[in-house]
Structure 1
Amino acid sequence: MLEAAIRALATGDPGAVSANKIAREIGATWGAVKYQFGDNDGLWAAVLHRTAERRARALTFGDSAGPLRERVAAIIETLYAGLTSIDSRAIENLRAALPRDHLELEQLYPRTAAELSCWGRGWLETCQHAFADLGVDPGRVAEIAELIPGAMRGITSERQLGTYSDLDKARRGLTNAIAAYLEQSRTN
């Protein structure tokens, strides 16, 4: 069911954000979905968890002893490659259908909100781990952890929409800017 939900969400169809519709498409009943996940909130939280598990396997950069700029480039390139995946398209469609206000999201979809919050913590930990042995200011790492996903979604959007911009140059510029920012804060 989760893979069917991910494929349906990845189509970009706003109607795909219907657990009942997904159940019908895979030949299941709403009762089967409720039995497995409890409700829409449980299904969406499970979808987010499944994609997070796969993403965690892909985001293992920074384990080497490479220089700071190479680590930043690895993060940027991994996200650039991953943001057009089926999982990413599914999550973008799901997020577009969810309330933007955190309090409303937490009230209406508490398990989904908890899973999204977990993503943020996991991403910060991934970034912290990537630079832990380089003496980089943790505050700056936290700042770039907030910046990178949005910046990469913008670059990915340009790729999908078509652009006159040189996206290779854009990624190099982002990499160089982040590396310089982090380099300024090194203590060793």
Structure 2
Amino acid sequence: MTDAGVAPQRTNRRGDASRENMLEAALKALATGDPGAVSANRIAKQIGATWGVVQYQFGDADGLWAAVLHRTAEHRADVFEQTDASAPLRQRVADIIDTLYDGLTATDSKAIENLRAALPRDPSELERLYPRTAAELQSWGRGWLATCQNAFAGLRVDPARVREVATFIPGAMRGITSERQIGSYFDLDMARRGLTNAIVAYLEASDSDG
């Protein structure tokens, strides 16, 4: 029951559809790897929208990029959720490595790599120019750390070493993924096994050190 004189709020389905279309167009454009795709104006034109529509939906380019990052985070939300609590350390590490190996070539990942490459490298500059985007990236970092902590829950491993592993795994996997995309003389299955073995040995050492 609504207050007298106050009209009930209705979902603006057309506006929601426009927002969804723009986010999907942004992901597809960014995933091409074209640096010029990192343009809110260009993305708007691709779906026949105006800059005014971008402002209405997202506020500005910062709002659009933050929304794109949030959308990809939603897509990945359940990827690592089903960790087998009875699985040994090696299996848990291998599952993370294999999931990233497959996921980093997906459209969302390519889009985010292109977007990040176009953003300021200096964190303070990024926060000044794109505060909402910077906040979303920081949220990603916290979420990834939580994912790794959950993945190794129940095992006797040093939390500090889990944080270190969480920090370097994404970069290491981007390197292996890059080799996969450009072609490599190395056996990338061996590379993944080697990385898995190194992480397992480091985390197992934290148990013996304790």
**Normalised TM-score (structure 1):** 0.97
1:73 paired with 2:107, answer no
2:81 maps to 1:95: no
In the TM superposition, structure 1's runs of 4+ consecutive aligned residues that sit over 6 Å from their partners are none
Give the structure, 1 or 2, with the largest relative contact order (CA under 8 Å, sep 6 or more). Answer: 1
SS of match in other structure, 1:170 = helix
Partner of 2:66: 45
The 1:50/1:106 distance shift into structure 2, 3 A limit, reads: same
Higher helix residue share: 1
Letter of the 2:23 counterpart: L
1:122 equivalent among 143, 162, 168: 143
Between the aligned partners of 2:177 and 2:37, the Cα distance in structure 1 is 22
What displacement does 1:132 show? Answer: 1.5
Is 1:21 equivalent to 2:42 in the alignment? yes
Equivalent residue, structure 1, for 2:83:
62
How far, CA to CA, are the matches of 2:118 and 2:171 in structure 1?
18
- Which residue pairs with 2:189 in the alignment? 168
Structure with bigger gyration radius:
2
Q: Which residue does 1:152 correspond to in 2?
A: 173
| Alpha-carbon offset, residue 56 of structure 1 | 1.8
* Alignment: residue pair count: 188
Question: Which consecutive unaligned segments of at least 5 residues does structure 1 have?
Answer: none
Q: Distance in 2 between matches of 1:59 and 1:41?
A: 28
Task: Tell me how large the CA RMSD over aligned residues is.
Answer: 1.1
**Alpha-carbon offset, residue 61 of structure 1:** 4.8
Alpha carbons of 1:105 and 1:16: their partners in 2 closer, same or farther (altered >3 Å)? same
1:62 is displaced (CA, Å) by 2.8
In structure 2, what is the Cα distance between the partners aligned to 1:60 and 1:77?
Answer: 15
Q: Percent identity?
A: 74
Residue identity in the other structure for 2:87:
G
Q: Is the 8 A contact 1:19 1:33 kept in 2?
A: yes
Q: Tell me the secondary structure at the aligned position of residue 184 of structure 1.
A: helix
| CA distance in structure 2 between the aligned counterparts of 1:22 and 1:57, rounded to whole angstroms | 28
SS at structure 2 position matched to 1:132? coil
CA distance 1:61–1:183, shift in 2 (3 Å): farther
Name the amino acid aligned to 1:176.
N
> 1:44-98 deviations in whole A, cap 9, x for unaligned?
0000000011112212253431000000000000000000000000000000000
Partners of 1:59 and 1:88 in 2: how far apart? Answer: 16
Which SS does the other structure have where 1:186 is aligned?
Answer: helix
**Letter of the 1:134 counterpart:** L
Work out the CA distance in 1 between the residues paired with 2:127 and 2:32: 26
CA contact (8 A) 2:32 2:110 kept: yes
**TM superposition score normalised by structure 2:** 0.87
Q: Is the 8 A contact 1:61 1:75 kept in 2?
A: no
Q: In structure 1, what is the Cα distance between the partners aligned to 2:156 and 2:49? A: 53
Equivalent position amino acid for 2:93 in 1: V
